[in-house]
Structure 1
Amino acid sequence: MARTLNLGILAHVDAGKTTLTERLLHTAGVIDEVGSVDHGTTHTDTLALERRRGITIRSAVVSFTLGDVTVNLVDTPGHSDFIAEVERALAVLDGAVLVVSAVEGVQAQTRVLMRVLHRLGIPTLVFVNKVDRAGARPEAVLAQIADRLTPDAVALGEVIGAGTRGARVERAPDTDPVTLDRLAEVLTRHDDRLLAAWLGDDGAGDGVAPARLRAALAEQTAAVRVHPVLFGSAATGAGVAELMAALTALLPTAAGDADGPVSGTVFKVERGPAGERLAWVRMFSGTLRVRDRLPVGGAEARVTGIRVCEDGDDVVSQALAAGRVGVLTGLTGARVGDAVGMPWAGAAPAHHFSPPSLEAVVEPCDPRRRAALHAALTELCEQDPMVGLRQDDVRRELSVSLYGEVQKEVLAATLADDYGVPVGFRETTPLCVERVLGAGAAFELIDVDPNPFLATVGLAIEPAPVGHGVDFRLGVELGSMPPAFFTAVEGALRETLLQGLHGWAVPDAVVTMTHSGYWARQSHAHGTFDASMSSTAGDFRLLTPLVLATALRRAGTVVCEPVHRFEVEVPADALGAVLALLSRAQAVPLETQVRRTAHLLSGLVPAARVHALRQQLPGVSRGEGVLVDAFDHHEPVRGPAPERARTDHNPLDRKGYLLHTVRRQ
């Protein structure tokens, strides 16, 4: 029976993962020659921008066959600015290969990726690439892997002639005592019975056969207890055959009942040549067929076409079974992360990485292209929900959420090349939030000045724990108003809390409705509806922001800026200069570890300072400093609170708000 392995290739930028993907496809017979990243001829980097810049921006899926296993290979971005794209790929993986350069060693993004792979329980092989490059040091990199990534790394071979074009990989025979000892040392940490057998304490007296160690290696790799390390060169092909053998021998293939309930997840959305929406779906259970109707993200959709990955291409199919990856058409409202059919209980959590902590206003170079820019950004948001488009109708401005400056450059190039809309960006700024400080309440009664709306709304707001979200509660009888009016209040208050007293979102709060009232539908004797005497949902939608703004003002808020946790590794003799640089960046080192010839500093730094810190670090560390950072939390801004321009009619300004919204005075 055919099996499927959904495999991710992950790495720090420039470690060689796209070249490794090309080599795997070539060795499997899918392509005739290995494409070149430098020449823009790779099979998976299909975007013109990817080929021009030599980096992966969008995840790509391509398949090949190894024996009875169909491997769906996902090539992911390596640059930290595109970590959201990596996140989407992780939701569909059965296993992963983490690529590490034999020259540069374990780098910043490598450590971030390994931590997430561990947290999600994804079985992972480590491939030490570029053993043929000058400066390759596979043994030192193996020590780095054990020190910085995982102590449960076990090498499955050694490199002969490292650093030369003729470098090759040899795997010692299973009977080699040194190899067996090295393998057993790692495996017995997690298996007491294996340890007893290895020490001869189990009473059997026959030691441990090599076959038992191999079986234990596969079992513990699948359970994410150990990480086999293989060596090679994607450029020359050295060690690639050994890697391919390890894929099917050590990584678990896809599970799932093809006859079970239909359950899958959308992990990528893009547009086809005719502008149609294409949804990339991983099936966890059941079988999806053309013309099936099923729920997708809460709305019903009809599958009009299916294409499945097969031998380097995607081909038309009538069905998509459990374990497989395919492209579906007809899911017009599908977004990344939507469940297809029933939600899968074993699916990975929605967000494994930190959300963007920066934003910037984007403007078309030609003001007449503003509508085209909005349409383009809306489409890009379908493909990448973390772009976070924000529209300010008052100032006619658009802003986007960002991870970093490289992402901004790529977004600008994409808009110019693919949509014909050259743009410029204003300065990148931190994406702050507002936290509620205390309790506040307000109410306005129907037909009582200064309330011009036919509605009674009372709201009380109080703080909620970080990550709690906005919790809407009823302090009035559910039957005191029609359900549509309660729905209007909740929708309006959630929208209002997207902009607090200083214009930043209020992500966590408990809001209780304390007062409610309405006028029932009124008609004249001849039966016509009298809108001037009847409450509508619109009255509640328009009054709620005014009441909530008053309650929020009474409660008070504090603006909190994003803070990143950082780790920076620097040579010992550069420690003083780096500490001075961290001080200028308002970074707070919390811990220092001494490692042979280097120091590892960890601590906290404002997100607004990270870009400058990353730019200046090479200059004070002779180019040897390595910085890894990720959003950690928000903390109150020191000094005056930064203001963010509002995109609404500002319920904090009652007079101006009513001029724009009131239907009668």
Structure 2
Amino acid sequence: MQHVNIGILAHVDAGKTSLTERLLHHAGVIDRIGRVDSGDTQTDSMEMERRRGITIRSAVVSFALDDVHVNLIDTPGHPDFIAEVERALRVLDGVVLVVSAVEGVQAQTRVLMRAVARLRIPVLVFVNKIDRGGARYESLIADLTERLGLSCVVMSEVDGLGTLDARSVPKPLTPSPALAELLAEHSDTFLSAYLENEGSLTTEDYRAEVIRQTRRGLVSPVFFGSARTGDGVAEVTAGIRDFLGGAAETASDDELRASVFKIERGNAGEKIAYVRVFSGELRARETVRFHRPGPGGLRVFDGKITAVRVFERGLDTVEAAAGPGRIAKVSGLKEIRIGDRIGVEEGKSEAAHFPPPSLETVVRPVNPADTPALFAGLRDLAELDPLITVAQDDETRRITVRLYGEVQKEVIRETLAEQRGLAVEFTGTQTVCVERPTGVGESVWEIGDGRNPFFATLGLRVGPGAPGSGLTFGLDVELGSLPLAFHKGIEESVAMALSRGLHGWEVVDCAVTVTRTGYFSPISAAGDFRKVAPLAFAEALRRAGTEVLEPVSRFEIELPADAVSATLSRLVEFGGLVTESSIRGARAELGGTLPTGEVHRFDQQLPGLSHGEGLLSTEITGYRPVQGPPPRRVPTPAAL
């Protein structure tokens, strides 16, 4: 049996969870279709998800379509939980993009599709809500092409569009000049066959080419329907089987390669890892090796698997070995984290497709005596969502957490209350900035110079590195002048010291060079160099100087055309720069950049500016020097 892992992606409220319910019902997995409003859907299992009517954590459900076994990952649509989407993208073989026939391509849809396009993940489109007033057909297909860059193969027509009697009518995939032109754009082989003898290409030839190009992410079949009524679901289900069924890619050898994209806690608090297997097999009672990139290089762990359960039907799992293409729930690996690679190390880590959280806030328990319990609870949450960075200041004991937005903040508050009985409050929210060296500074700490209590002589030179380079570590001394463990200790300590610059922010694009070393044998130890390295780095950085940079977000706004003027004025007040604008009838779109620190404040004012109809989507695109006095990070905690 073939195995394929697909994701359901959409702007919030486009109907992806409702489509998931319909797919499970059509496949015979469930007898009754749940409703998001009622809180009884299969994939929204958290109490908060049911209460709020939104997806917070990715969920996996499974069903069979003839000889194709499908693992379906339902992902969040709200931008505050974009990290969940990123983790799912890394293990997908294909995507079903859900678009509302009324609202069409929305700002968040474009953010999602940019990441999908970068990865060349095959895409099927399900245009939902054809039975709602204002539903569109031709103009929506044009939007999919123009605004998302999709090469659309339309698989449905619609009767009674925009009425309660709307019905999706399958459109046969037959030879036509328009389809031939679309396919020829992506295949010289098909173009040659078409030009040599157009009449010899059969319907099956066209269908085979559409399947091939879909699986390569070149064209996208588009289906219309209604998840509410189930109309058109049979056709998109067949599309998943036919167009995505053979899209899974596995390595040519039998060595184990697998990736962890989600972790949850079992009833006894044990870790359960959700793992996608690319090659080889995961078996219970076997010892595996897994890898994790970190500031000091690649970290390697060994662990013994106690149980492997693969998804079989709906949410049900069975104990079995997990082979290529399977998604498994793996128990027993105590040190496992999201993003770890199990088995063969490929030599490079996967780059993030979405930026880390841009907000940092202080978290306090209402009862000060609960501070240790709060810290422990937040650390557990950070293991389930590694982009929630938790830290505690060594002196003040204040706890900070980084997150994406206000909704995520409320989810953390409710989770701590429900799972640990902790009442908390958030204060001092600020935008996460970074620091970059502006000059070159040097520092030398000599053994016995009166201020150095360690048996280690160390000189460092600090200066600006290339944009996007992170930490560049070099030597102006002979490698053999120190034992290798001492050099490693210096590099690891410097990497940790980058977390706190002159103004308390993380230091980026920094070139650090070791200019002098010395030690007393056998008194000196690697620990001496680990302790003196941050002191030398701090002094050299102070002499070099730094500038503070604030994050800048790219924004896209959809709003009524008559609200453009007022919105433009407010954007300028907040330091925004509009680079794109268009008006389509009564609707308008604006695009540009805005300081990330102003995004939340502007978002709060957008409803008043746009008669409650404005939609804003943002993503961090880079940094720029702060205008005016540089902000300090308060407090300045040492990150965990």
Q: Which amino acid aligns with 2:602?
A: L
SS in 2 for 1:10: strand
- Whether the 8 Å contact between 1:61 and 1:74 is mirrored in structure 2 is yes
Match of 1:218 in 2: 211
| Residue 188 (str. 1) matches residue 184 (str. 2) | yes
Residue 607 of structure 2 aligns to a residue in which SS?
A: helix
Shift of the 270–234 alpha-carbon distance from structure 1 to 2, 3 Å rule, reads same
Q: Aligned-residue CA RMSD in angstroms? A: 2.0
SS in 2 for 1:328: strand
Residue type of the partner of 1:416? A
For the residues of structure 2 that align with 1:618 and 1:182, how far apart are their CA atoms?
A: 42
The alignment status of 1:588 with 2:581, answered yes or no, reads: no
Judged with a 3 Å threshold, the aligned counterparts in structure 2 of structure 1 residues 368 and 146 are, in CA distance, closer, same or farther, namely same
Deviates more, 1:241-250 or 1:477-486: 477-486
SS of equivalent residue, structure 1 residue 22: helix
Partner of 1:78: 77
1:375-422: CA deviations, max 9, x gaps? 111111111110011211211111111111111111111111122212
Whether 2:558 is the aligned partner of 1:556: answer no
Q: Is the 8 A contact 2:311 2:318 kept in 1?
A: no
Distance in 2, matches of 1:280 and 1:258, equals 23
Following the alignment from structure 1 to structure 2, what is the Cα–Cα distance between the partners of residues 648 and 20?
A: 44
Q: In the alignment, what sits opposite 1:231? A: 224
Alpha-carbon shift at residue 227 of structure 1 (Å): 1.2
Listed one character per residue, the Cα deviations across residues 428-463 of structure 1 (whole Å, up to 9, x for unaligned) are 211000001011101021112232322211111111
CA distance in 2 between partners of 1:248 and 1:470 (Å):
46
Residue 375 of structure 2 is matched in structure 1 by: 374
Q: TM-score, normalised by structure 2?
A: 0.94
Q: 2:451, 2:32 → 1: CA distance? A: 76
Pick the aligned partner of 2:330 from 325, 328, 339.
328
Number of equivalenced pairs: 629
Task: Output the CA distance in 1 between the equivalents of 2:132 and 2:637.
Answer: 57
Q: State the alpha-carbon separation in 2 of the partners of residues 103 and 256 from structure 1.
A: 39
Q: Deviations over 1:1-42 (max 9, x none)?
A: x00010100101111101111111111111110111111101
* The 10-residue stretch of structure 1 (117-126 or 540-549) with the greater mean CA deviation from structure 2: 540-549
CA contact under 8 A between 1:98 and 1:124: conserved in structure 2?
A: yes
Aligned to 1:493: 494
Is 1:307 the counterpart of 2:309 in the alignment?
yes
Q: CA deviation at 1:519?
A: 1.7
CA distance in 2, matches of 1:258, 1:303: 25
CA distance in 2, matches of 1:6, 1:451: 57
Q: Does the residue aligned with 1:288 lie in a helix, a strand or coil?
A: coil
Distance (Å, rounded) in 2 between the aligned partners of 1:590 and 1:135: 29
Q: Residues 296 and 331 of structure 1 are in contact (CA less than 8 Å); yes or no, is this contact kept in structure 2?
A: no
Q: Secondary structure at the match of 1:190?
A: coil
Partner of 2:297: none
Match of 2:145 in 1: 146
CA deviation vs aligned residue, 1:568-589 (integer Å, no higher than 9, x gap): 2344333211210111211012
SS of 1:609's equivalent?
helix
Structure 2 unaligned residues grouped into runs of 5+: 292-299
Q: Is the 8 A contact 2:215 2:247 kept in 1?
A: no
- Cα distance, 1:181 vs structure 2: 4.5
Match of 1:606 in 2: 595
Shift of 1:302: 1.1
Secondary structure at the aligned position of 1:55 is classed as: coil
Give the Cα–Cα distance (whole angstroms) in 2 for the partners of residues 109 and 194 of structure 1: 35
Corresponding residue for residue 100 of structure 1: 99
Comparing 349-358 and 51-60, the one that deviates more: 349-358
Question: Residues 608 and 468 of structure 1: is their aligned pair in 2 closer, same or farther, counting only changes over 3 Å?
Answer: same
8 A Cα contact 1:320 1:326, kept in partner = yes
Whether 1:45 aligns to 2:44 is yes
Distance 2:520 2:193 in 1: 82
Displacement of 1:259 after TM fit? 6.2
Partner of 1:630: 619
Match for residue 294 of structure 2?
Answer: none
Q: Is the 8 A contact 1:395 1:647 kept in 2?
A: no
Change (3 A) 1:310 1:189: same
Give the counterpart of 1:289 among 262, 283, 290. Answer: 283
Give the 3-state SS of the residue equivalent to 1:246 in structure 2: helix
Unaligned 5+ segments in structure 1 are 522-533, 650-665
Partner of 2:563 in structure 1? Answer: 574
Residue 31 (structure 2) aligns with: 32
Distance 1:647 1:587 in 2: 29
SS of aligned partner of 1:515: strand
Q: What residue number does 1:388 align with?
A: 389
The residue correspondences of 1:47-446 to structure 2 (distance < 5 A) are 47-174=46-173, 180-192=176-188, 194-195=190-191, 201-202=195-196, 204=197, 206=199, 208-251=201-244, 252-256=246-250, 260-297=254-291, 298-344=300-346, 349-446=350-447
Instruction: State which drifts further: 594-603 or 491-500.
Output: 594-603
1:337–1:350 CA contact under 8 A, matched in 2: no
Moved more, 251-260 or 407-416: 251-260
Asked if structure 1 preserves the Cα contact closer than 8 Å seen for 2:392 and 2:637, the reply is: no
